[in-house]
Amino acid sequence: MNDNEPNLEHSDLSEEFTRDGVTVLVDIFRPAGSTGGWTLQVIDQDDVMTVWDEPFASEQEAYDEFLATLEADGIESFSAGPEDELE
């Protein structure tokens, strides 16, 4: 690990999640020792990351947002193909 990288506290809600044969890693974290907000990122099988811009007040709120996005947009919404890349 690089000395410049912060130590992170990962939520117990972080997990591998599989639906319809697609697995993603749900990662909820914040700086170790912090009482600040939780960051939510979802990483697909091709290491494409979806990261929410705003932190969440609790790890449960972050996980609930993941589930809401999953239900609204499907698990495929976390995979970016070439047509989904930002310019």
Residue-wise pLDDT for 56-86, tens only, equals 999 999 999 999 999 999 999 987 554 444 3
Q: What domain range is 57 assigned to?
A: 8-78
28 assigned to some structural domain:
yes
Buried b (16+ CB within 10 A) or exposed e, 14-32: beebeeeeeebbbbbbbee
* Beta strands in the chain, from DSSP E residues, in sequence order: 8-10, 15-19, 22-31, 39-43, 49-51
On whether residue 85 sits in a domain, the answer given is no
Residue 27: pLDDT over 70: yes
Rounded Cα gap, residues 40 and 5, in angstroms: 18
Kindly state whether residue 2 falls inside one of the protein's structural domains: no
Give me the mean pLDDT over the 44-62 stretch: 95
Is 12 part of a structural domain of the chain?
Answer: yes
Q: Residue 45: inside a domain, yes or no?
A: yes
Q: Please report whether residue 86 resides in a domain.
A: no
Instruction: Quote the DSSP letter at residue 28.
Output: E
- Does residue 83 belong to any structural domain of this protein? no
Whether pLDDT at 1 is above 60:
no
Residue 66's H or E segment, with its range, is helix 59-73
On whether the pTM is more than 0.75, the answer is yes
Number of domains in the chain: 1
How far apart are the two ends of the chain, measured CA to CA in Å?
31
Question: What does the pLDDT average to over 36-51?
Answer: 94
Instruction: For residue 87, name the pLDDT band (cuts at 50, 70, 90).
Output: very low
26: in domain:
yes
